[in-house]
Structure 1
């Protein structure tokens, strides 16, 4: 009999038992694979082409603070409960139908990410074939191949990460040496960018937006962590490597070559080595993207219908949709997409963190069922958390409309405070009614 964690539903409708947890090395490599993709290079190049080196690294620092705070908080909750993000949201303020909307938001955004990354991979494959494949066929081949891989679940992510991550860094190191030859690093650090200027707030929001979806879905990976300490090292290591090292290299390359089109330069300047980096990057992040899409969609349908649908079926459907998105040109909207994500998703995390760690509205229920390795039944699960939904919308609205500061942080802070005060007010009103 094939184990549930190898192929099948991959604990999509249940807690991951302690016996199925993975090593620190495995989960960290998977997480690093998410944060060291060529999309991160593209982001770093965009910052470098629009900001000085010090401004770009400061934007990286502020954006990374948001990512560390959110990723660590949600990651520890996911490891403790053994639940994916879309399941955890049910008992972190949003309720059963509220978590359906969260799952849909995660599914749509990660599908778009799949399309972006598949476009990068397709460009590389088409370049390798001297244009004979064509972008459309290259997208179809890469998308279908990754879809088949993800059907095997979390264990397949570990296989690809252990192979792709070390090779990716060897390739990136070699490319950095090639592209920065003949340049004085000190001059690059102090050089003035020639691109359209970007504010610190917009830069930090783009940094946060670049990984906010993978940060929000940290529980999808951390539910396989053995304890909170493993979550800390997984999140922190991936941020240091993915944000500061990869971003820093990309910023320097953008200054050296005076462009933000790093992907084309890597494939054309570094030849087959550059092409290999493109392929490895897309493979190791897109398997995680598609994995989280499938988890989110299975929980969306289970929340709406009460039936447990096939994880494999959703993986196939999501892979096809993501491939189509890459073919129709989603890569062209990359920067706008990042800023949108950087405002819409932090409020969700803010609500979940406040509910789980401060209000603890369902912690006793989760603690009781966790000892039995089951989920709370439908009767004890809230239908929809209106305070959470209102806080999410209001936080996103503030992030879009208020230009002062960092929009990602603004939306996170507003949603957290509004949710805390709203729930406290509702609790106080109910208490006073009981007294009367």
Structure 2
């Protein structure tokens, strides 16, 4: 399944049902994708800004929201057997999909840059702990990005298989970090530690959702391999919900116990040393190869300039420059922004698929669509901007910006579609 997901992500044809797998298998893949350095850093910032008790509540609420938003997206994938790129094309039109994929490309490139910066920082800290090298941090960021870019061009299949080994080791290592940390300070004591107050609950929940919201919208890429609706539900709760819970909770506790935000630093303090470096490097290497691969696919889908290799190199250079500038300093703000601007895309294809197209995204239906569905594109953009304005103005309806954005886009798109349908009926009656 892993090879199919990696190499068929831009396929324009439905998946053969014979390739279908269980929801648990898809969920495990999603858990592996969730364990990343940016999420560990984000968890650490939540722990410092909110305290453990509030951070756990934010994580659980965010994970539940992600699971619930993921279910309808997963079902769209399972029933159509189409990739997210094709589903978006059905909803927004061939040209309109290019605008949407361009937006995805920007967000994915930002996520690549964040991971690249943290990858370089991890190597820099490891070099300081384990060697006598004195290179600046940006040099390690540049080196790690070069490795990731070359791997994406030539060795994706090998690194994809390496992930099957690295991710379980990462889970075991992080589990060991949590257990050893709790031997230093009791869990009940950690729960009573206050945060700095810099992050409130809605902001924390929004950060958790923003960390995985692109993955929710792109869930069909995986669940087009699901056997049944039940498998979609299992994959959503196990993968999106469970994966985020694991990623955040294992990142919350060590930061409070050891007083260090850097995973490499607190793992070295615990005596993990070289093992910590190996696990973090291989897991992050794998993750950022996938990030760069997805960025290249989205970029080529929106602006098809150059072959795959050229696009990978160009995106790798842009992402590396953003990493060296220091994009991770705004990690929480970046996650919140993603949680506000991305959900409208899902909200619109939910409404289009379930309400107006009666779950018909067939090839014949695609041929009938206009090159660009202007109202869908404008509603997606408008809903995201309005949701962002409401969130930052403190006027959120649900207190969770991502849910506001999803619901607003569904209602706005449905209203526009119904108005257009009524207008057509009146014209026919007049004629």
TM-score band by shorter chain is 0.7 to 0.9
From 395, 401, 411, the equivalent of 2:405 is: 411
Query: Residue 89 of structure 1 aligns with which residue?
Result: 88
From 334, 337, 353, the equivalent of 1:337 is: 334
1:57-111 per-residue CA deviation (whole Å, 9 max, x = no partner) reads 222233223311332222332343343323321112x222221111111111111
Work out whether residues 40 and 248 of structure 2, in 8 Å CA contact, stay in contact via their aligned partners in 1: yes
Work out whether residues 70 and 240 of structure 2, in 8 Å CA contact, stay in contact via their aligned partners in 1: no
Query: Residue 213 of structure 1 aligns with which residue?
Result: 214
From 391, 394, 398, the equivalent of 2:379 is: 391
Query: Residue 64 of structure 1 aligns with which residue?
Result: 63
Query: Residue 174 of structure 1 aligns with which residue?
Result: 176
1:294-329 per-residue CA deviation (whole Å, 9 max, x = no partner) reads 221221135xx9xxx633432333223222322222
Q: TM-score, normalised by structure 2?
A: 0.86
Alpha-carbon distance, 1:391 to partner: 2.0
Work out whether residues 120 and 278 of structure 1, in 8 Å CA contact, stay in contact via their aligned partners in 2: no
Query: Residue 120 of structure 2 aligns with which residue?
Result: 122
Q: TM-score, normalised by structure 1?
A: 0.85
Q: Secondary structure at the match of 2:275?
A: helix
Q: Following the alignment from structure 1 to structure 2, what is the Cα–Cα distance between the partners of residues 428 and 170?
A: 58
Q: Secondary structure at the match of 2:184?
A: coil
Q: How many residues align structurally?
A: 416
Query: Residue 276 of structure 2 aligns with which residue?
Result: 274
Q: Following the alignment from structure 1 to structure 2, what is the Cα–Cα distance between the partners of residues 23 and 287?
A: 24
From 305, 315, 318, the equivalent of 1:318 is: 315
Distance 1:241 1:333, change over 3 A: same
Q: Secondary structure at the match of 1:89?
A: helix
Q: Which moved more, 1:256-265 or 1:161-170?
A: 256-265
Alpha-carbon distance, 1:252 to partner: 2.5
From 342, 345, 362, the equivalent of 1:367 is: 362
Q: Secondary structure at the match of 2:303?
A: helix
Work out whether residues 91 and 382 of structure 1, in 8 Å CA contact, stay in contact via their aligned partners in 2: no
Work out whether residues 21 and 226 of structure 2, in 8 Å CA contact, stay in contact via their aligned partners in 1: yes
Alpha-carbon distance, 1:281 to partner: 3.4
Work out whether residues 6 and 155 of structure 1, in 8 Å CA contact, stay in contact via their aligned partners in 2: no
Q: Aligned runs of 1:241-252 on 2, under 5 Å? A: 241-252=242-253
Q: Following the alignment from structure 2 to structure 1, what is the Cα–Cα distance between the partners of residues 120 and 406?
A: 35
Q: Following the alignment from structure 2 to structure 1, what is the Cα–Cα distance between the partners of residues 357 and 124?
A: 51
Query: Residue 389 of structure 2 aligns with which residue?
Result: 401
1:267-315 per-residue CA deviation (whole Å, 9 max, x = no partner) reads 555422332342133123212212221221221135xx9xxx6334323
Distance 1:11 1:411, change over 3 A: closer
Work out whether residues 120 and 282 of structure 1, in 8 Å CA contact, stay in contact via their aligned partners in 2: no
1:160-211 per-residue CA deviation (whole Å, 9 max, x = no partner) reads 3311210111111222233333211111123222x23322211111111111
From 400, 420, 436, the equivalent of 2:414 is: 420
Distance 1:6 1:133, change over 3 A: farther
Distance 1:408 1:102, change over 3 A: same
Query: Residue 141 of structure 2 aligns with which residue?
Result: 139
Work out whether residues 113 and 319 of structure 2, in 8 Å CA contact, stay in contact via their aligned partners in 1: yes
> Structure 1, unaligned stretches of length 5 or more?
370-374
Give the CA RMSD over aligned residues. 2.9
Distance 1:99 1:263, change over 3 A: farther
Work out whether residues 75 and 231 of structure 1, in 8 Å CA contact, stay in contact via their aligned partners in 2: yes
Q: Following the alignment from structure 1 to structure 2, what is the Cα–Cα distance between the partners of residues 115 and 435?
A: 55
Q: Following the alignment from structure 1 to structure 2, what is the Cα–Cα distance between the partners of residues 429 and 286?
A: 48
Q: Which moved more, 1:75-84 or 1:104-113?
A: 75-84
Query: Residue 107 of structure 2 aligns with which residue?
Result: 109
From 405, 413, 430, the equivalent of 2:424 is: 430
Q: Which moved more, 1:177-186 or 1:413-422?
A: 177-186
Work out whether residues 34 and 284 of structure 1, in 8 Å CA contact, stay in contact via their aligned partners in 2: no
Alpha-carbon distance, 1:400 to partner: 1.9
From 84, 95, 99, the equivalent of 2:97 is: 99
1:333-361 per-residue CA deviation (whole Å, 9 max, x = no partner) reads 21111111111111111111111112227
